Structure 1
Amino acid sequence: MNNSVDSLWHYYQQTEFLFTQMLSTQLSFAIITAYNPKGQVLSACQNGLLDRKLQNEINSLGLPYRAMIGTSQDRTHMEKSWAVAIDKAAAIRLGRLFNQNAIYYVEADNLQLVPCLMAKEETLLGAFSPRVNRVLDLPDIE
């Protein structure tokens, strides 16, 4: 994968989301991962450790959350992520804490790509619900 800022931003705009339960289109929430900080691909073990740290941080904030997967359209790249009921500013801080280039933010079924570390403008990506695929179980990520 080409990791230039423009290439990564383009890939981020193509992301789809796997959930085991559908969410209300009226909810506002962030989608945050700890995987592959700054766009650098890490091992499954390293990503797993970062993911547990992120889950612990979300727990310490006392916020409702749900595990989910962010994935490329062809399913060749997947990242464990968390849908978190958090305001956008706090979500950006959390993304920065885990060295994420960007997070997603959903308001009234509108999906936004929001930069954390990248020098990019927030990008409205359209309706969130068409990008969601319901699965019985989240896939294991290697």
Structure 2
Amino acid sequence: MDVAFKQLWQHYQNSCFLLTQYLNPPCAFAIITASNPLGILLSSSQNRLRDKQLQQDIHQSGCAYRAMMGASPDLQHMEKSWAVYLDQASAHQLAHKYQQNAFYYVENGHIHLIPCHSKAEPVTMGEFSQYVRIVEELPEILD
């Protein structure tokens, strides 16, 4: 892994998730974004377009989903994301389609960081609840 990717990989492990209400941890789900493919920062409008395409793909899959926000702990960086109730292999395909370095998979209340486009090893991060922040509404991302 190169230095830039190692830094991103560490940032991914320190993310938090903004939700408007708790999710049901007994059900397995993936957390996927379409923003910033392969770690390349895009404009808010480019990311919104990619997000709409991802939401359309999720909706067409017929599985349950909920909007959320993935964020750095200081909330200086945020990405619109989706909790999608599907199996890990399907989640991997979807995240790969949107050129994501990784996605998160929550199973039995534990969150795992799963690589998509690298040889990094999956990481079990701990209890999902430790990464959740409940908010009144999800913030909008502006340029």
Give a deviation string over 1:53-91, Cα, whole Å, max 9, x none: 000000110010000000000000000000000100100
Structure 2 unmatched runs, 5+ = none
| One-letter amino acid of the counterpart of residue 7, structure 1 | Q
Q: How far is the alpha carbon of 1:4 from its aligned partner?
A: 1.0
Structure 1 unmatched runs, 5+ = none
Which 4+ residue blocks in structure 1 deviate beyond 6 angstroms? none
Structure 1 match to 2:93 = 93
Give a deviation string over 1:91-125, Cα, whole Å, max 9, x none: 00000000000000000110000001122011100
| Cα distance between partner residues in 1 of 2:23 and 2:35 | 23
What SS does the corresponding residue of 1:34 show, helix, strand or coil?
Answer: coil
What SS does the corresponding residue of 1:121 show, helix, strand or coil?
Answer: coil
CA contact (8 A) 1:5 1:118 kept: no
Pairwise CA RMSD: 0.8
| Cα distance between partner residues in 2 of 1:4 and 1:118 | 13
| Cα distance between partner residues in 2 of 1:78 and 1:29 | 20
What SS does the corresponding residue of 1:139 show, helix, strand or coil?
Answer: coil
Structure 2 match to 1:67 = 67
| Cα distance between partner residues in 1 of 2:79 and 2:62 | 23
Q: How many residues align?
A: 140
| Cα distance between partner residues in 2 of 1:84 and 1:25 | 12
1:109 to 2:104 alignment = no
Structure 2 match to 1:27 = 27
- Identity over aligned pairs, percent: 47
Pairing 1:1-80 to 2, within 5 Å after superposition: 4-80=4-80
What SS does the corresponding residue of 2:38 show, helix, strand or coil?
Answer: helix
What SS does the corresponding residue of 1:58 show, helix, strand or coil?
Answer: helix
| One-letter amino acid of the counterpart of residue 33, structure 1 | T
| Cα distance between partner residues in 2 of 1:137 and 1:130 | 19
The two structures have a TM-score, normalised by structure 1, of: 0.97
Q: How far is the alpha carbon of 1:5 from its aligned partner?
A: 1.2
Q: How far is the alpha carbon of 1:25 from its aligned partner?
A: 2.2
| One-letter amino acid of the counterpart of residue 109, structure 1 | G
| One-letter amino acid of the counterpart of residue 42, structure 2 | L
Structure 2 match to 1:81 = 81
What SS does the corresponding residue of 1:4 show, helix, strand or coil?
Answer: helix
